[in-house]
Amino acid sequence: MFQKLLLPVDLSDRHGQALQAAAELARPGAEVVLLHVIEIIPGLPMEEDKTFYQRLEKAAQRHLGQLGKQLEQRGVSWRAETIYGQRGPDILRFARETSAELIVLTSPRPDPEHPAAGWGSLSHKVGLLSSCPVLLVK
């Protein structure tokens, strides 16, 4: 189905269904890119707290490696990318620059009593602003 899939993830364990969807949508020979964006603290230069950012990067690499092993078990090619910046804009930029054909994102479940509550979520913003298709997995 898709040759280049982008799966942005945080360090939580709630991306299992999105990982499964990406694996199922990846055609033979496809690649899934696991992306983690480390948010830069506004007003605090990275040089001032290098050890803090290094710890975050190591944790991200471990987490992406664990997710990647799950893709390997399904026979799906993958690679991990960790970048620094702002999650929303940098996910969109990365998708454009790498010519991603599909972004697969974990999305919060809608609350029928407050249907607009999820409109401010990262997944909703990426879904609206992306130039490629986006699959929101709940």
Amino acid symbol at 117: A
Q: In the prediction, which pLDDT does 7 show?
A: 98
What is the full DSSP assignment across 31-57?
Answer: EEEEEEEEEPPTTS-GGGGHHHHHHHH
Please name the fold of domain 2-125: Rossmann fold (3.40.50)
Q: What is the mean pLDDT of the chain?
A: 94
Amino acid symbol at 33: V
How far from chain centre, in Å, is Cα 7?
4
DSSP state of 13: S
Domain ranges of the chain: 2-125
CA distance 75 to 82: 23
Q: In the prediction, which pLDDT does 122 show?
A: 93
Q: In the prediction, which pLDDT does 130 show?
A: 98
Q: In the prediction, which pLDDT does 126 show?
A: 97
Low-confidence ranges of the chain (pLDDT < 70): 118
